[in-house]
Amino acid sequence: MLEIRDLRAGYGQSMVLNGVNLDIAHGTVTALLGRNGMGKTTLCRVLIGLLPMTSGTITLDNDSISHMAPHRLARRGLAYVPQGRSIFARFTVQENLDLGLSARGGRIPPHIFEWFPMLAELRGRRAGTLSGGEQQMLALARALVAEPSLLILDEPSEGLQPSRVTAIGDVLLRIVADKRVTVFLVEQNLALVRRVAAITAFLVDGVIAGGAAGRDLSPQSPLIQRYLGL
Amino acid sequence: MGAFLTWAPLLLDALSFVLVLALVALGLVVIFGLMGVINLAHGELFMLGAYTVVLAVGWGVPFWLAVVLAPIAVGAVGWLVEVLLIRRLAARPLDTILATWGLAIVLQQAAVLAFGPGSRSVARPTDATVTFAGISYPAYRLELMAIAALVLVATMALFARTRVGLRARAAIADPDMAAALGVNVRRVRAQSFVLGAALAGLAGALVAPIISVDPHMGFGFLVPAFLSILAGGGVSLGGVLGGAAIIGGADSLLGHWMSPVVSQIVVFLIAIVAIRLRAARAAGS
Ligand SMILES: Nc1ncnc2c1ncn2[C@@H]1O[C@H](COP(=O)(O)OP(=O)(O)OP(=O)(O)O)[C@@H](O)[C@H]1O
Ligand SMILES: [Mg+2]
């Protein structure tokens, strides 16, 4: 569904991504693991159009989307849950969800509140007053309101207690099963990746250094030892 | 009773000035909030609104139609300015300030060339007065106040209650995230400039019959508009009204028993006190 070829990008003179090649297959969860500062967030920002790439190509369903503006990519079906969530803290939960409709208009699909029952009760609350776990659910729900075809998640489990991480895993498994959303999941949480990802790639020094089927990843596997230094 | 009879018209005059000032200031705030642009040509957009009415009425257009045309015409000018000037200077705030300052001078000179340096006037649509509780007051000023209040409320409702307004607020709060959600941030910014310009144009159109219209009239409104924003606390829409009430109210009322120069100085002092009070409160909370 998404093909990344020889992608290079960085900030000013310093290159962060040095030729990334990655395929994300339709209807799967593809995970990306990598140590801090390897460029995972940089890759996400390039994919969603917030950071211009220096060279390379990105193709979505055989169309080049290499230099598309973010709002156009959103309308093409990409949705993004950034690291740190970036919810609109001073807006209500409802307003945050409504913003998810910017890409396609219409109404909030009813299944959103099936997937995130707690958000139904929190609609009138200011998003900034939600707990970290609730904010992460809101960020995820806001992305799904757009009914995207490709969901890009940057470390959704960061800073959450294990039960919340499990809840995120439940939602991911469910949306992939129900709606055939494709998910690109950047994570450091190995347990979450093993549970949901069909394929896992490793980002090391700005290139994809290897890949594995998700369920083969045990903490003892040589890939993990080598690329994450656990 | 006697005091009421003398004071009521003065207070109404002050209120009409406050409402017009709030329209001008609100336009500035919309442009600053969404674009980060301090538009020093805002007073000239106001001036263009007034001249639009003078010209249109001169051509035989009914007054109220001219009042509707003015914000459209000035909004169109705003759109051109955004496309030709502001957009090219995006993310260079200092250059934008200089550019809008230059634009202000150009527009003033253009007005001098087109309409002459002297002042023009336009007849009020009605000379009727409304008599209430023993005071009679020009009907046009009451109409002006009603329209200004209505447009202020409508603009605030646009931002607070509609989807378009929600997207604009999102573009202010976090432009990257808004864009990633599908908001065309650049277009929202251009629209905000047009809206801000149109508000200035409407304000100019509304006051055209009650003040003298000349190429330099904009500056007289730009300064109190900026002071209103500062006194009212920056970019909140509600603060604009409060700031305009303080600055416009003082300006208008003090002028009745002080020389213009002294009253201007007092207005500045009031503005400084209001700004400092706000700063102290912000630091305390
Ligand atoms: N805005 C920026 N300007 C300059 N350098 C940046 C910027 N953002 C990130 N970098 C640098 O780019 C490199 C990759 O950062 P990135 O955030 O993509 O890493 P990451 O893999 O997401 O890390 P983490 O796991 O900590 O989130 C780092 O060296 C970082 O310092
Ligand atoms: Mg990161």
pLDDT tens-digit readout, A112-146: 999 899 999 999 999 999 999 999 999 999 999 99
Q: Per-residue pLDDT for A219 more than 70?
A: no
Q: B124: burial class by Cβ within 10 Å (0-12, 13-18, 19+)? A: middle
Q: From the alpha carbon of A38, which atom of ligand 1 is closest?
A: 21
Any CB–CB contact under 8 A between B162 and chain A? no
Interface of B with A in 173-232 (CB under 8 A): 173-174, 176-185
Domain A2-86+151-227 sits in CATH at 3.40.50.300
When pLDDT is averaged across residues A158-174 and rounded to a whole number, the result is 91
| Residue A32 zone, left/alpha/beta (φ > 0; ψ -120 to 50; rest) | beta
For an interface test with B, the pick among A102, A142, A150, A151 (most B C-beta atoms closer than 10 Å) comes out as A102
The residue behind tokens 């494709």 is A182
Q: Which residue in chain A is spatially nearest to B179 when comparing CA positions? A: A71
CA distance A134 to A156: 12
Q: Which residues of A touch B183 (CB under 8 A)?
A: 71, 99, 102
pLDDT of residue A156: 94
Consecutive sets of 10 residues in chain B, 285 residues long: mean pLDDT of each? 79 92 92 85 96 96 97 97 89 86 95 93 88 88 96 93 94 94 94 96 96 92 88 75 87 80 77 74 64
Contact B228, B25 (CB under 8 A): yes
pLDDT of residue B215: 95
Q: Whose CA is nearest to atom 1 of ligand 1?
A: A11
The residues that bridge with A58 in the sheet, in sequence order, are A4
Which of B163, B173, B185 faces A98 most closely, judged by CB atoms? Answer: B163
Per the CB < 8 Å rule, is B183 touching A71?
yes
Using CB distances shorter than 6 Å, the residues near ligand 1 are A 11, 16, 34, 36-42, 83
Domain ranges for chain B, please list them: 2-215
Q: Looking at per-residue confidence, does A222 or B103 come out higher?
A: B103
Number of Cβ within a 10 Å radius of residue B199: 32
**Banded pLDDT at A216 (limits 50, 70, 90):** low
Number of Cβ within a 10 Å radius of residue B103: 19
The whole-chain average pLDDT of chain A stands at: 90
Q: Which two tokens stand for residue B126?
A: 């009605």
Q: Which residues of B touch A150 (CB under 8 A)?
A: none
pLDDT of residue B255: 78
Residues A5-45 have pLDDT tens digits of 999 999 988 999 999 999 999 989 999 998 899 999 999 99
Which of B166, B173, B180 faces A50 most closely, judged by CB atoms? Answer: B180
Which of A35-49, A66-80, A198-212, B177-191 comes out lowest in average pLDDT?
Answer: A198-212
